[in-house]
């Protein structure tokens, strides 16, 4: 067994939708409206499978559940319309919409010289971060515009660690989606799942939300890398 002499976490990578802000719910509402045009009722279980997945991959999944064939043109048209609905819901966002505990936790990380990154599948990440007035707190932002493969592929998190110049083992990912936890584990990172304990069971630490999340808790997670 190799002992890790530096037990500290050097970077935290936040997912955006459903972790920093409750836009996961806006995505769900927008997809539900589009799916109903195909006479398909999108369920909560379906939506869990869409979390963390890119816009285009989401259309493909919904079309397959609805058993409709879509051309490349139609796929793009549906994705664009979904985005219009989604952005209309996002325009009203303000810093008051930052989820409980997130601002405090980011401040604690910055005060402790822990790097802070965003690792999101969304192409609207900067728009949303600007609305929340959070952009300047992130040392690194990797979003849907910078990656080829969506979660559960680890690309987004590996890129974020590289840009922070950090060893993936010293990074913790905070996620609300099973696909995101899977991606972070494949990247060799420690994971915090926020939300449903059953759905996020593969995470190293599971909490209902970020309200009581502290750096001390993350540093304790490092024991998982000691074997
Ligand atoms: C992820 C969401 O963060 O971003 C998904 O969990 C969403 O639901 C994906 O489809 C892509 O987002 P956007 O904003 O580029 O359509
Ligand atoms: Mg999410």
Take residue 29 and report the two structure tokens written for it: 């509402």
Question: Which entry of 4, 17, 46, 136 is annotated as an active-site residue?
Answer: 17
Give the chain's mean pLDDT.
94
Classify residue 49 as left (phi > 0), alpha (psi -120 to 50) or beta: alpha
* 3 CA from centroid of ligand 2 (Å): 33
Burial annotation 5-29 (CB, 10 A radius, 16+ → b, else e): eeeebbbbbbbbbbbbbebbebbbe
Domains of the chain, each with CATH number or no CATH: 11-22+94-225 (3.40.50.1000), 24-90 (1.10.150.240)
Mean pLDDT of 186-200: 97
Take residue 117 and report the two structure tokens written for it: 């990154």
* Closest by CA position to 142, among listed 123, 169, 128: 123
pLDDT of residue 5: 53
Asked whether the predicted pLDDT for residue 158 surpasses 60, the reply is yes
Asked whether the predicted pLDDT for residue 198 surpasses 60, the reply is yes
Asked whether the predicted pLDDT for residue 224 surpasses 90, the reply is no
Asked whether the predicted pLDDT for residue 226 surpasses 50, the reply is no
Q: What does DSSP assign to residue 93?
A: -
pLDDT of residue 223: 75
Ligand that comes closest to the CA of residue 31:
1
pLDDT of residue 1: 46
pLDDT of residue 85: 97
Helix (H, G, I), strand (E, B) or coil at 194: strand
Other Cβ atoms within 10 Å of 211 Cβ, number: 13
* Closest by CA position to 53, among listed 98, 18, 90: 18
Question: Which entry of 15, 22, 46, 167 is annotated as an active-site residue?
Answer: 15
Per-residue pLDDT reduced to its tens digit, 81-104:
999 999 999 999 999 999 999 999
User: Quick one: how far is CA 223 from the chain centroid?
Assistant: 24
17 CB near ligand 1 (under 6 Å): yes
* Closest by CA position to 62, among listed 25, 26, 27: 27
Take residue 208 and report the two structure tokens written for it: 């209902």
52 CB near ligand 1 (under 6 Å): yes
Per-residue pLDDT reduced to its tens digit, 4-57:
556 689 999 999 999 999 999 999 999 999 999 999 999 999 999 999 999 999
* 104 CA from centroid of ligand 1 (Å): 25
Q: How far is Cα 210 from Cα 222, in angstroms, rounded to an integer?
A: 19
Asked whether the predicted pLDDT for residue 156 surpasses 50, the reply is yes
Asked whether the predicted pLDDT for residue 227 surpasses 60, the reply is no
pLDDT of residue 8: 86
* 121 CA from centroid of ligand 1 (Å): 5
């Amino acid at each position: 067994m190799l002992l890790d002499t530096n037990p500290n976490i050097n970077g935290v990578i936040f997912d955006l939708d459903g972790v920093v802000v409750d836009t996961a719910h806006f995505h769900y509402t927008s997809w539900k409206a589009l799916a109903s045009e195909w006479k398909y009722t999108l369920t909560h279980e379906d939506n869990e499978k869409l979390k963390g997945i890119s816009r285009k991959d989401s259309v493909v999944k919904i079309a397959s559940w609805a058993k409709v064939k879509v051309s490349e043109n139609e796929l793009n048209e549906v994705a664009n319309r979904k985005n219009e609905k989604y952005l209309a819901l996002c325009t009203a966002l303000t810093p008051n919409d930052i989820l409980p505990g997130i601002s405090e936790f980011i401040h604690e990380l910055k005060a402790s010289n822990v790097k802070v990154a965003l690792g999101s599948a969304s192409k609207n990440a900067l728009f949303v971060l600007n609305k929340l007035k959070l952009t300047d707190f992130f040392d690194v932002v990797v979003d849907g515009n910078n990656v080829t493969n969506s979660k559960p592929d680890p690309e987004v998190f590996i890129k974020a660690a590289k840009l922070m110049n950090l060893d993936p083992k010293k990074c913790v990912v905070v996620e609300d989606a099973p696909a995101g936890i899977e991606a972070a584990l494949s990247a060799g990172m420690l994971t915090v799942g926020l939300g449903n304990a059953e759905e996020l069971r593969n995470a190293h630490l599971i909490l209902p939300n970020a309200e009581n999340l502290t750096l001390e808790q993350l540093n304790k997670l490092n024991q998982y890398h000691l074997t």
